[in-house]
Structure 1
Amino acid sequence: MAYLNFATLQGNPIATPADVTATPRTQTGFSALEWQVVAIAQHDRLSSLRKPGRLATALAMVFGGQRPNPELADSRLEALRRLAVHAWHRGYTVPRAVIRAFHEVGFTAEQYETLLASISRGRAALNQGNRA
C-alpha cells in the first residue's frame, strides 16, 4: 500500500489556525467579588479614603477605637473601592489620580465606563426613591 501526500499539491490552506483564533477582547465587566466591593463602597464615606491623622491615631490607641473602613489588602480591590466611593458621592467628577491608580492596577477604560454608568444608574434610582 502506497502513501501519497496530497497536501503539497493543494497549496496553502485557506485559513491558518492563527487566522481562526479570535482576537482577545478588552474586558468590560467585573467579577462578583469586584461588584461586591462596589456595593460596599456605596455606604463608605469620603473620609474613609483619607489616612487618619496623628491625633486620630493617638486617640484610637488610648481609647481603643478602630477605623471604620480600613484599606483592603488587595491593591486592585482597594483602587476599585476608592474609585467607587468617589463615584457614589460625586458622580462623574472623579480625581485624575484616582482614575490613574485604577488603570495602573490593571483595569481597562471600558471597565471604568461600565463602573461609572452602573453607579450613575444606581444614584438615579436612589434619587427617584427619595422623591416618592
Structure 2
Amino acid sequence: METLSPNIFTNDMKATITFYQSLGFKITMSVPEMGDDLVWAMMVNGGVTMMFQTYESLADDLPEISRQDGGSLLLYINLKDIRSFFEQVKDKVIVLKGLETTFYGATEFSIKDNNGYVLTFAEHE
C-alpha cells in the first residue's frame, strides 16, 4: 500500500469544491457530466488528496453506500504551521473544537465540512 485518498460523497459539488478551496485545496482532475456540472473531482493540498463524487453519479452501482451526509469517520490531517492555518480558516468554517494541545503532544483543531464530515487538523510539535 502506498496512499489513501478518501472519496467523499456530496449532494452539492459546487459548494464542496468552494469549501475545500477555502482550505487551500486545488482541483487536479474532474469529470463533467453534462455541461459544466462536475460529478467527480480530485483536490490536492500538499500531500493530501481528497476525491469528491455526487451520489447520483453512482446511480445503482453501489447501493451499499449510504446516501446521507456526514459519516461515522473523522479525517485526521497532519500539517505544519497549524496556528497560521487555523487563523486563515477559522472564520470561513464551522469550528467544532478550537486549537488545543492533546495529552499525546499534538496541537489540533476540528471543523465540520459542508457535507457534515469532521476534519481534524494536527501538528505534532
The TM-score normalised by the length of structure 1 is 0.26
Higher relative contact order (CA 8 A, sep 6+): 1
More helix by share: 1
| Richer in strand (by share) | 2
The alignment's TM-score, normalised by the length of structure 2, stands at 0.27
